Structure 1
Amino acid sequence: MIDERADKSQVNPLRNYPSGSQYALAVQNPALCFRHPELAYATPDLNSNGMPRAISGNFATVFILTSPRGKRVAIKCFTFHTDERASRYLKIAQKLASIDSTTQSQPWKMNFEYLSVGICVAGIWYPIVKMEWIEGVDLLRWIESNHTDSESVRLVAENFLSLAKDLALAGIVHGDLQHGNILVAPDRTLRLVDYDAMHVPSCDGSTNSETGHRNYQPVTRWEGPPTDFDRFSIWIIVISLFSIASDPLLWKLLHDQGGEYLLLAAEDFDDLDTSLSFSVLRCHRDPAVSALSELFVHLVTESTNILPLPVIPDDIAPDLRQTNPMHSEPLTSAKTSASTDLNAFHGRTTLEILAAVSSPLSFVALFSLSAAGVISFYMAVSYFLALFFLITAITLLLRSRREELNRIDASLKTQQLDLSSRSIAAVGIDEMERNYAQLIANESALMSELANARGPTRMRAQKEYARIEIDKNARKSAINDRLNNLNLSKRNACEKLLREQRELWARSQLGFYELSGNSVAGLNPGDKKALKCNGIHTAADFADVHISRSSALLILPDGRRVRIPGIGPKKAEELIAWRRRCESHAQSRYSGTLSATDTKKIANEFKPLEDEIKALEQKLDEDASRRQNAVNSEAKQWRTNHIADNRSKLEILRPELHEIGRNLAEKRGSVEELKHLTNAHKALLLSRSRLSFPHYVRFIHLGD
């Protein structure tokens, strides 16, 4: 939302803005410095010194205020001027308002209101952005507290990728994606803040002076399409988050406490081949981490201006993740479980029904013949035994032809072969586990050695870099003071010339103010007649008065002095007071402005001094840049000399880790498969026990 209401007479006419400390002094009295009702009655958060707590950035200072109803808001006060700020915020607000929140992966948008007449400092109004207060922790502090929770870190990484896709689909470029502008909510969803550098489609063609955080931007200025400006930052954040999710130890190895980055910093982008962090990530034992890092290096090396959105590591190297012991999953087999159809016999055949009916009838007939005396008892016993063995043989034959028994026997035979092969494949896993653990220990030792050696050097470089920056800012502050004084002098010169032009014009208008009626108190008709007799008809006909103790002289425009009968000191004072009122009234009617010629003339008068100050500022920037480049070169030389050996060891260790990891994954899979097969074999044996001969006899006679 944009507040366009502005009193032009009060809005800052120049381009110099207050400093953070000047804003803090003004915020002490919200009722005086704010017009917005929600801000005028709010209370600012205070620091330990009792002053409004300021959160300072490169180009703005943020204050937190609480309304009487307890609602917290943030206000951003700018410390520099841009011509397109108001129009950019209007376009951004319109674009964000057009996005349906229900179609987004998470509620990442922040509500804000741009106030053209926002805050009054030293009698001048400056624009501010009133922002919704968002509950969350910036990404860096969140990782510091949660880097050991791999599941949560991975969820945040996936949410960030989803957020990046939301922005891409909407055609929005944040412009400064970095840890400080990404807040993590309690539910692990993300919120984006700081829209100063945001680009929306309607901003095409506009300029933007912000370049983003140096630890999230390429070394050279982005020259690709505006829609791809965020891609480099997105890759840096995605690589860092997924790497930490895979191996929390990387946070302690590659992040220095107090560092304004995640795992990768600006020094890593200077030379990807000599970067310690990229060396560790490219040689990491998790193939997904190494593949993601390798892909980024390849894309940046080929062309920084063509970067697609990253994909999650699972999609980069799925075949490698399957062989990674850190992510191994049990193999499956189509033969590991028996079908429920094999647990019992189903559906009697005609022969089985005949056998079930004939066998008892045969025994009944035999006993009937024996009881009737047709055959002797001993012959009946002989026939009984013969009939019993015949029926048993027929039953065994019929059972052997059952499909259930044949299928389960075939499955058992196949399982026996699988069990034998898996048992052989699992041989030596204990030794391989020990070898792999030793390789992991060697890798950790190498990375720890690198991190321990790099830490002090990087900290020294960072401290020197910060010292140069502080020195530059201190010296630039003095230059800015000179520039502000110059702008003030320029403004005073413009105001003086405009005042002179206004006074000149007002004097030219005095001829329209006549001595008539009661325009001058205390003058009688005789006095006015005496004035007119001496040529004084209007306020333009005399310039001043000279008053002595007992007499008064009127000073004419040509400098002559005349004494007017009847005009003493008191009436002379009334006359000059009337003339001044006329002049003041005329000046109030003046609506002229300085011409372009006058403005240019004044600008030219101050240009040599302005050029001198700008030259000093440019020289200061160049000197600071040269010193910082020297620090970077020294750090780079140190990395080249001291990291090469350990890096080569890591690169040698990497294929060995992958190879033994692949073999170990296979053996772990074989062990898991052996367990599954053993359990399945037991289940199949149990199923076969339900297909035993007694169960079959019961089945053919009773059908169950």
Structure 2
Amino acid sequence: MSNYPSRTDIVTAMRNPLVSFKSQEIIGGSIIQKDSRIIQYSGGYTTVFPFHKQTGNKVAVRLWIADIGDAKKRSLEISNYLENLNNAYFAGFKYIDDAVLVNGTFHPIVLMDWVDGQTLKEYINSNITNTSKILELAKKFKEMAAYFHLENIAHGDLQHGNILIKSDGSLVAIDYDSMFIEPLSGMTDTIKGLPGYQHPARHSNQFVNSRLDYFSELVIYLSLLIYADTPKLWDDYYGTEDLLFSKDDFANPSNSKLIITHLKSVNPTISQLTEKMVEELKATDIAQLRPLEDLLMNRRKVAKDNIFDKWEKQPNQAVKKKVALPNKNDITNKF
């Protein structure tokens, strides 16, 4: 589909449900308005409407305003995959073809479960003085990242607007246009994510793969640890498109005041992870990046394990000599 509607055209269509709604999933439903204003959330490639289905259930209706390359195939594969996965880290997600008529042309939608929660930045802002809550958030984020790795999937655009924290503290990732799952192997990496979360090599990455999130995970986890340790930093970054680090920090880490400061942190986890970030920034391809759990491994323990591993694999291992004590009777019998 080469011709995508403008946001204005889509809003006009959504205001006229009797003419525009063609899918049974949304017929009888309505967009949500505040007074006379339609509520919508706009991204670079899509626009999203909070929506009440005929049943009264609140969902999100999402339409494309620009081409992300094989949007239908991506969405169908992800829809089927997430339905089978049935995991709480993801919202319900369903691709529906020819669902809305806009300017005489049928357009697809994605219907998503509505998730009530705070974005990552909203949650941090509400709890910045509560160190234990920020550390608990970091722990839960680390667990989510480990689950993604276990399932060999990547979200592809982990950032503050795409991570929601529900009232019970659980995390939900939303917006799956950049996602990698095995059925999408070989598809183009079109949406690169926010620069303040991405490794510089992401810009030249060609295809989606399971390593898309590795650097973003490090950025988010380390940032949370730093905010728990130094909450006064938050005021400087809340209003930016970054969580903490910026693309300038990544482009020139040796001149980054933020990186230099935290390399010297008295918190060993922060200093070690900042050092790992500098190491990761030397990579020229995201295929060279390591997952968060590997970066968190204790360096001394790894070295110790490597020493013992090498010892056990020696081709001619030293054998402990057995010392046989002489038999007492053998000695006395000689006299």
Equivalent in 63, 85, 98 of residue 49 of structure 2: 63
Distance in 2 between the 1:57 and 1:175 partners? 15
Name the counterpart of 2:292. 310
Name the counterpart of 1:286. 267
- After superposition, give the CA deviation of every residue in 1:307-358 in whole Å (9 maximum; x if it has no partner): 2222499854799xxxxxxxxxxxxxxxxxxxxxxxxxxxxxxxxxxxxxxx
Name the counterpart of 1:200. 181
Distance in 2 between the 1:174 and 1:265 partners? 20
Q: Is 2:31 the partner of 1:44?
A: yes
Decide whether aligned partners of structure 1 residues 215 and 64 sit closer, same or farther in structure 2, where only a CA change above 3 A counts: same
Name the counterpart of 2:330. none
Distance in 2 between the 1:109 and 1:126 partners? 24
Q: Is 2:84 the partner of 1:98?
A: yes
Question: CA contact under 8 A between 1:282 and 1:290: conserved in structure 2?
Answer: yes
Name the counterpart of 1:16. 3
Distance in 2 between the 1:110 and 1:292 partners? 31
Gaps of 5+ in 1: 1-13, 102-106, 320-704
Name the counterpart of 1:153. 134
> Which structure has the highest helix share of the two?
1
Q: CA deviation at 1:302?
A: 5.0
Residue 292 of structure 2: SS of its match in structure 1? coil
Distance in 2 between the 1:149 and 1:119 partners? 45
Mapping for residues 607-626 of structure 1, pairs under 5 Å: none
What one-letter code is carried by the residue in structure 1 that aligns with 2:20?
C
Name the counterpart of 1:654. none
Name the counterpart of 1:247. 230
Question: CA contact under 8 A between 1:150 and 1:246: conserved in structure 2?
Answer: yes
Distance in 2 between the 1:190 and 1:84 partners? 28
Question: CA contact under 8 A between 1:117 and 1:125: conserved in structure 2?
Answer: yes
Distance in 1 between the 2:183 and 2:90 partners? 18
Distance in 2 between the 1:34 and 1:68 partners? 12
Question: CA contact under 8 A between 2:156 and 2:193: conserved in structure 1?
Answer: yes
- Percent of matched pairs sharing the same residue: 29
Residue 268 of structure 1: SS of its match in structure 2? helix
Question: CA contact under 8 A between 1:289 and 1:313: conserved in structure 2?
Answer: no
What one-letter code is carried by the residue in structure 2 that aligns with 1:118?
A
Residue 119 of structure 1: SS of its match in structure 2? strand
What one-letter code is carried by the residue in structure 2 that aligns with 1:299?
E
Name the counterpart of 1:33. 20
Distance in 2 between the 1:59 and 1:115 partners? 17
Q: Is 2:97 the partner of 1:116?
A: yes
Q: CA deviation at 1:264?
A: 1.0
Name the counterpart of 1:75. 61
Distance in 1 between the 2:69 and 2:290 partners? 33
Decide whether aligned partners of structure 1 residues 212 and 83 sit closer, same or farther in structure 2, where only a CA change above 3 A counts: closer
Distance in 1 between the 2:14 and 2:139 partners? 40
Q: CA deviation at 1:67?
A: 2.8
- After superposition, give the CA deviation of every residue in 1:462-488 in whole Å (9 maximum; x if it has no partner): xxxxxxxxxxxxxxxxxxxxxxxxxxx
Residue 96 of structure 1: SS of its match in structure 2? helix
Q: CA deviation at 1:250?
A: 3.0
What one-letter code is carried by the residue in structure 2 that aligns with 1:233?
S
- After superposition, give the CA deviation of every residue in 1:99-144 in whole Å (9 maximum; x if it has no partner): 264xxxxx20211111111211112111111111011111011111
Question: CA contact under 8 A between 2:156 and 2:180: conserved in structure 1?
Answer: yes
Question: CA contact under 8 A between 2:273 and 2:295: conserved in structure 1?
Answer: yes
- After superposition, give the CA deviation of every residue in 1:12-43 in whole Å (9 maximum; x if it has no partner): xx612111121111111223211233422222
Name the counterpart of 1:235. 218
Name the counterpart of 1:139. 120
Question: CA contact under 8 A between 1:75 and 1:131: conserved in structure 2?
Answer: yes
Decide whether aligned partners of structure 1 residues 94 and 257 sit closer, same or farther in structure 2, where only a CA change above 3 A counts: closer
Equivalent in 189, 207, 216 of residue 170 of structure 2: 189
Distance in 2 between the 1:144 and 1:313 partners? 27
- After superposition, give the CA deviation of every residue in 1:591-624 in whole Å (9 maximum; x if it has no partner): xxxxxxxxxxxxxxxxxxxxxxxxxxxxxxxxxx
Name the counterpart of 1:178. 159
Distance in 2 between the 1:311 and 1:208 partners? 24
- After superposition, give the CA deviation of every residue in 1:236-283 in whole Å (9 maximum; x if it has no partner): 10110121123322323xx33421121112221121111122122222
Gaps of 5+ in 2: 302-335
Name the counterpart of 1:430. none
Mapping for residues 402-421 of structure 1, pairs under 5 Å: none
Mapping for residues 292-303 of structure 1, pairs under 5 Å: 292-301=273-282
TM score, norm. by length of structure 1: 0.40
Question: CA contact under 8 A between 1:291 and 1:317: conserved in structure 2?
Answer: no
Name the counterpart of 2:331. none
Residue 261 of structure 1: SS of its match in structure 2? coil
Name the counterpart of 2:250. 269
Name the counterpart of 1:209. 190
Distance in 2 between the 1:217 and 1:115 partners? 31
- After superposition, give the CA deviation of every residue in 1:391-425 in whole Å (9 maximum; x if it has no partner): xxxxxxxxxxxxxxxxxxxxxxxxxxxxxxxxxxx
Residue 90 of structure 2: SS of its match in structure 1? coil
Residue 277 of structure 2: SS of its match in structure 1? helix
Question: CA contact under 8 A between 1:222 and 1:229: conserved in structure 2?
Answer: no
Decide whether aligned partners of structure 1 residues 52 and 296 sit closer, same or farther in structure 2, where only a CA change above 3 A counts: same
Question: CA contact under 8 A between 2:82 and 2:93: conserved in structure 1?
Answer: no
Question: CA contact under 8 A between 1:28 and 1:51: conserved in structure 2?
Answer: no
Q: From the CA coordinates, give the structure whose radius of gyration is larger.
A: 1
Name the counterpart of 1:436. none
What one-letter code is carried by the residue in structure 1 that aligns with 2:39?
R
Q: CA deviation at 1:304?
A: 5.2
> Which structure has the highest strand share of the two?
2
Equivalent in 241, 263, 279 of residue 260 of structure 1: 241
Mapping for residues 303-452 of structure 1, pairs under 5 Å: 305=286, 306-311=288-293, 316=298
Distance in 2 between the 1:313 and 1:83 partners? 33
TM score, norm. by length of structure 2: 0.82
Distance in 2 between the 1:47 and 1:18 partners? 24
Q: CA deviation at 1:296?
A: 1.4
Mapping for residues 532-611 of structure 1, pairs under 5 Å: none
- After superposition, give the CA deviation of every residue in 1:507-559 in whole Å (9 maximum; x if it has no partner): xxxxxxxxxxxxxxxxxxxxxxxxxxxxxxxxxxxxxxxxxxxxxxxxxxxxx
- The count of aligned residue pairs is 298
Question: CA contact under 8 A between 1:138 and 1:179: conserved in structure 2?
Answer: yes
Distance in 2 between the 1:100 and 1:174 partners? 15
Name the counterpart of 1:516. none
Question: CA contact under 8 A between 2:219 and 2:245: conserved in structure 1?
Answer: yes
Distance in 2 between the 1:153 and 1:257 partners? 15
Distance in 1 between the 2:168 and 2:177 partners? 27
Name the counterpart of 2:70. 84
Q: CA deviation at 1:193?
A: 0.5
Distance in 2 between the 1:192 and 1:126 partners? 25
What one-letter code is carried by the residue in structure 2 that aligns with 1:85?
A
Q: CA deviation at 1:231?
A: 0.7
